[in-house]
Structure 1
C-alpha cells in the first residue's frame, strides 16, 4: 500500500523544499522508494508568465489531482509526496476570486490522503520575484486552509521549525503513518508537531485565533 502525503500551506512556507527533503531522506536514509509530485499551479504560472484567471482554476486543480493519482499507481512506490493538492488551488480561488465552488471536491479528495501536513508560519516570508504576493496573503491562505480542513473534519498536522528540525518533524509524522520509526522521539520537539484541535485549545495567542480575522477580511 502506497502512503500518500500531502503538503499544504501558504506561499513561502517551504512546501517545495520539504517535498524534496522528504523524498531524499526517505530514499537515502530509510531505503524507501518515494516520489515527489511537483505543484502544477507553480509550473503553469511559470510557463504562462502570469497567474491563472478564475475560469482556469478548475482545470489546474484537476491536473494536480491527476498527477497525484498517477504517481500512486506507480509500481513499487512506498510514499508519494504531493507538493500541494487541489485544495491549494481551491483556496486561492476562494481568496482571489471569491469562488468557493472548487472547495467541496478538493476537500473530498483531501480526505483520501493518508497524511496531510500543513506548513507552519514560522518561516520568514520571502519574495520570489514572480508570483508571491505578501505576508498578509500567506496568512489569509493559512487561515482559510485551517478553517476548511477543520470544518470538513479532515485531519491534519502542522509542521514547525527551521531547516532540518522542520524536516525531522515531518519525517516523524510520516513514520507514524507508516508504522515505523524514522526519527527517534525527542521530548524537546514533541509539541512542535500536533493535530489541530480548536475545541481543546485555550491558548489566546494561538495561530487559529490570530488569523481568523484575516480570513474574514479576505472573504
Structure 2
C-alpha cells in the first residue's frame, strides 16, 4: 500500500521546509511508522543552474517533483511533501501567465490525504534566487487558495510560531492516523487524546481561517456557485 501523502504548500518564506522537517521527525517518533520528507526540487535546481527556471522548464520540474514523491510513497508509510506540482503551476501562472500546469497540480492534490497551507504570519527572509520579496506573498497565497477552491479541494491553514506551528499541523494530521495500525504505542496516543479533547468549534473558528463560508465565497468568485 502506498504511503499517506501530506502536502505542504504556501507562499515563499512561510515556513514550509522547516515545518516539513519538524513534522517528519515528530511523526516518526510519535507513531513508529516509516516517515520521510521529499524536499523541494526547485531549491536544488536553482543552486545547480545558478538561475531560476524559464517558462519552458516548469513542466519538467513539476513532473520530477511528483515522481520523487511517488517513489517515496512506495517505501514509506507517511510522506511529507515540501511543496508539490501545484506550487509550480501557481508560479507558472503568476510569473508567466501560463495555466497549462494547473490541472496536473490539482490532480496530484486529489491523491493527498491532507493539504497544509502555511499562513503568512512569519517574517519574510531572503533566500537567494528563489525569493522575489515580501510583496509577492499575498498574491501567491491567494492564487493557491483559488487553485484549490476551484478544484473543490480542501486544505488546513497552519499558523503560529515554533512548536505552536508544529502542534497545529499535528492536530490536523492526527485524525488521519487513527485508523492506521501503529507499530508501538507512545506519544501518538497522547497526541490522539489531545486532539479528542479539542472543542468541536476549534478548527472552524480558532485555528483555521478557511471555514466553509470562505470556501463558498471563493467558489462564488471562481464562478462555481451562484452569487448570493
Q: Map 1:118-157; keep pairs closer than 5 Å.
A: 118-157=117-156
Following TM superposition, by how much is the alpha carbon of 1:198 offset from its aligned partner in structure 2, in angstroms?
3.8
- Where 1:29 maps in the other structure, the secondary structure is helix
Distance 1:28 1:153, change over 3 A: same
Q: CA deviation at 1:194?
A: 5.8
Residue of structure 1 in register with 2:39 after alignment? 38
Report Cα offsets for 1:22-67 as digits up to 9, x if no partner. 1111112332220100001111111111100000000000000000
Q: Is the contact made by 2:38 and 2:72 (CA closer than 8 Å) also made in structure 1?
A: yes
Could you report, residue by residue, the CA deviation over 1:81-106 in whole angstroms, capped at 9, with x for unpaired residues? 00011000001100000001100111
Relative distance call for 1:198 and 1:44 in structure 2 (3 A) is farther
**CA–CA distance in structure 2, aligned partners of residues 163 and 118 of structure 1:** 16
| 1:100-138 residue CA offsets vs partner (Å, 9 max, x unmatched) | 110011111111111100001111111123321111211
How far apart are the structure 1 equivalents of 2:210 and 2:67?
Answer: 28
Equivalent pair of 2:115/2:154 in contact (CA under 8 Å): yes
Q: Which runs of 5+ in 2 are unaligned?
A: 180-188, 222-228
Q: Which residue of 1 aligns with 2:8?
A: 7
RMSD over aligned Cα atoms: 2.2
Mapped to 2, the partners of 1:195 and 1:11 lie a distance apart of 20
1:129-162 CA-partner distances (Å, limit 9, x unpaired): 3321111211111000001101110111111111
TM-score under structure 2 normalisation?
A: 0.82
Q: Map 1:8-27; keep pairs closer than 5 Å.
A: 8-27=9-28
- The 4+ residue runs of structure 1 with deviation greater than 6 A are none
Aligned position for 1:161:
160
Judged with a 3 Å threshold, the aligned counterparts in structure 2 of structure 1 residues 40 and 139 are, in CA distance, closer, same or farther, namely same
Greater Cα offset, 131-140 or 181-190: 181-190
- 1:195, distance to aligned residue in structure 2 (A): 4.8
Secondary structure of 2:127's match? Answer: coil
TM-score, reference length from structure 1:
0.85
1:88 aligns with 2:84: no
Q: Which runs of 5+ in 1 are unaligned?
A: 203-207, 213-219
